[in-house]
A and B are shown apart, each in its own frame.
Chain A
Amino acid sequence: DAKTTQPPSMDCAEGRAANLPCNHSTISGNEYVYWYRQIHSQGPQYIIHGLKNNETNEMASLIITEDRKSSTLILPHATLRDTAVYYCIVRPLNYGGSQGNLIFGKGTKLSVKP
């Protein structure tokens, strides 16, 4: 089962920031938080990951709370092309066998509206 909890859906106005929350209250010290998204009919796309510090790349920012029990993915200026299902996943840094595999929950369906 997924170790994360996300709202099933969210709306965002085009051009505004989209803030997608994720709860991972049972996260372990060696587990990273990953975010992927899946645009309709396409394969999942990697967005960003982090351990405990906030991270930013060309796609998004990731804010992780100090206790690491929750995080927020921020799309600073959402466009219509950001409409997708967003998955928050926790994954250990060092692992072997099947532990390294991504466990996808149902994610959050983000709808960006004009």
Chain B
Amino acid sequence: NAGVTQTPKFRILKIGQSMTLQCAQDMNHNYMYWYRQDPGMGLKLIYYSVGAGITDKGEVPNGYNVSRSTTEYFPLRLELAAPSQTSVYFCASSGTARGIQPQHFGDGTRLSIL
């Protein structure tokens, strides 16, 4: 029972580099989310998707892009890494947005931009 799997677990980037954070879920969930968590703070929503081919911005989308070509995968792209993007990134999924389905989270990707 894998649930939500995120890779890599850790990464160090140089300013200006690009990378893709991977997220996969095996629960056939329609809804997927990307959050970031800065030290000592709660989670903030970056982007979310309500199904394959449909994505939308959350609270802090600047500097990120997403795609959702399949139900299972929801990668997050950083095009020009900046120190302000140093954070822990969490991917989550839920069965539906309607109703009371809880969100299931991965264990996060710890990203440092130097």
Contacts and interface: CB of A to CB of B under 8 A. Distances in A.
Q: Is B truly associated with A?
A: yes
A100 B107 contact: no
A49 B45 CA distance: 20
A94 B98 contact: yes
A35 to B, nearest CB: 10
A95 B98 contact: yes
A29 interface: no
A101 B108 contact: no
B31 interface: yes
Interface residues of B, number: 27
Interface residues of A, number: 25
A102 B106 CA distance: 15
Contacts of B51: none
Chain A interface mostly: loop
A44 B102 CA distance: 11
Contacts of B40: 106
Contacts of A101: 33, 45, 48, 58
A31 to B, nearest CB: 11
B2 to A, nearest CB: 13
B42 A104 contact: yes
Interface in B28-46: 31, 33, 35, 40-45
A58 to B, nearest CB: 14
A5 to B, nearest CB: 13
B58 A98 contact: yes
Interface in A12-63: 32, 34, 41-46, 49
Nearest to B102: A46
A98 B107 CA distance: 23
Interface of B: 4, 31, 33, 35, 40-45, 48, 56-58, 90, 92, 97-100, 102-108
7 contacts: A44-B105, A46-B104, A95-B97, A98-B45, A100-B31, A105-B42, A107-B42
Interface of A: 2, 32, 34, 41-46, 49, 87, 93-98, 100-107
